[in-house]
Amino acid sequence: MPNRVSFMFPQQPTDPDAIIPFGQLAQEIRADRLWLGQSLRIESHPALAYLAGSGCRISVGMAVALMVLRHPYDAALQARSLARLMRHPVAIGYGAAYPSYVRSVRGEAYTKPAAAVGEFVDIARKLANNQAVSHDGDQFSVHTRLPPMQTPKVEIGAGVLRPGMARIAGRTSDLAMTWLTPLNYIEEVVKPAVEEGARGVQRPPRIVSVVHAGVERKGRSPMLLAQHGSVSHLQAPHYTDMLRKAGLDVDASDPVSGARELVRAGVYLYGDPAHIAAEIAKYHALGVDEVVINPTSVSNMYGLQAAVDDLREIFAALDAQDPTRRPKGGSGVATVSVPDVAGAGQLR
């Protein structure tokens, strides 16, 4: 099994043309996949469809899409359509979103968010893979199937923070996605819980870890970068609870101190490209199938081109570390430069 490494497009797009150079970059540096977060500007599914329409057809993913925005039938339809348009595999991780946001959209929060995500993902992934579904649950009642259509592989999974969600993901998902998650927590909590949930039901879903990173350069502060990439998560009780259980001294009321902890504990990867590549290898050594490099902090502070420069250097270091990471021969894509797009905003 290859050690997959991908990266995220670091903004909520307002101009779909801004995504195209990142799709070309994924081909140039031989990234396994280009990921988008959930965009509330140009929504992520049509943004990626636009990329396919431009002629850039690559493996893509979304992390983490918000379950409250769609029915699982629509989730399956959107994912399967995107795989057919891209002619490459698609992976989408879903999450329940913050309770306050869920209330603003559907009128009330989920009583059991993890169980609701499990229902949603189980239905959507079966439908997306041409299976008939007969399901009556607390959140959804679905008795139907999509018209059969052959597509590249479609994976639908769930974002996981706590062991309960990890167990549900193990039982229902194609992939279990972590975000801002320390290595020791993946090894000691997430992976065992995922495997426990899958026991006797299915092969464990592959683990995909989103890892924030920035290359060390003159004038950069890793603490400021960590703040600019993760301030909303560092103020979220469920994230700080997870980080505390992993041994970090964080508090939702003090995201500045929390950012220092991310750097100190190596959750935010900062250093030269070789150091970052070596840290990424630690995730693979634990059994993480795909590491998704998130350059949002660099993009937020220094612009899209700075994020591209970091990604290119990190992937060059990954190639030097493991020449077999991806087949050589290149994609025939020229080196890309990326103009900043005013008002594009941040994803995470």
pLDDT tens-digit readout, 49-83: 999 999 999 999 999 999 999 999 999 999 999 99
The reply to whether 159 falls in a domain is: yes
The reply to whether 339 falls in a domain is: no
Q: Would you tell me how many other CB atoms lie within 10 Å of the CB of residue 257?
A: 13
The distance in angstroms from the start CA to the end CA of the chain is 29
pLDDT at 346: 36
The reply to whether 338 falls in a domain is: no
Distance between CA atoms of residues 174 and 170, nearest Å: 8
**The dihedral sign for the CA sequence 235, 237, 239, 243:** positive
pLDDT at 253: 97
pLDDT at 301 over 90: yes
Q: How confident is the model at residue 345 (pLDDT cuts 50, 70, 90)?
A: very low
Q: How confident is the model at residue 339 (pLDDT cuts 50, 70, 90)?
A: low
User: Both tokens of residue 292?
Assistant: 């998704």
pLDDT at 202: 80
Amino acid at 282: K
List the domain range (segments joined by +) for residue 232. 4-321
The reply to whether 335 falls in a domain is: no
pLDDT at 338: 60
pLDDT at 144: 98
The reply to whether 329 falls in a domain is: no
pLDDT at 348 over 60: no
What percent of the chain lies above the pLDDT cut of 70? Answer: 93
Q: How many domains does the chain contain in total?
A: 1
Q: What is the pLDDT of residues 122-131, one digit of tens each?
A: 999 999 999 9
Q: What is the pLDDT of residues 158-215, one digit of tens each?
A: 999 999 999 999 999 999 999 999 999 999 999 999 999 999 988 999 999 999 999 9
Q: What is the pLDDT of residues 214-225, one digit of tens each?
A: 999 999 999 999
User: Which CATH number is 27's domain given?
Assistant: 3.20.20.30
Beta strands 206-215 and 133-136, pairing class: unpaired
